[in-house]
Amino acid sequence: MAAAAKAPAKKEKKKAKSKGDSYKTDGGKLVRTKPVCPKCGPGVFMAAHKDRVSCGKCGYTEFGKKE
């Protein structure tokens, strides 16, 4: 019997945090990091302002979004 090499598959990837990135890859999956409009649904991004985000489509505004 061949001894199977047991290697602990422990991969820790540190994600670089950069402002202005709309997308990031999470496990090979493309994930949107920008807030989407809860009214318009996914696909409609909200414009990030200094202390609020607003939807340019329906005008929905959300305050106090801090990171």
Min separation Cβ 35 and Zn ion, Å: 11
Considering only residues 7-66, where is the footprint of Zn ion by CB under 5 A? 37, 39-40, 55, 57-58, 60
Give CA–CA dist 33/54, Å, rounded: 15
Nearer to Zn ion, 26 or 62 (CB): 62
Q: Give the DSSP letter string of 6-58.
A: -------PPPP--TT--EEEETTEEEE-S-B-TTT-TT-BEEE-SSEEEETTT
Nearer to Zn ion, 33 or 44 (CB): 44
Give the binding site for Zn ion (CB under 5 A).
37, 39-40, 55, 57-58, 60
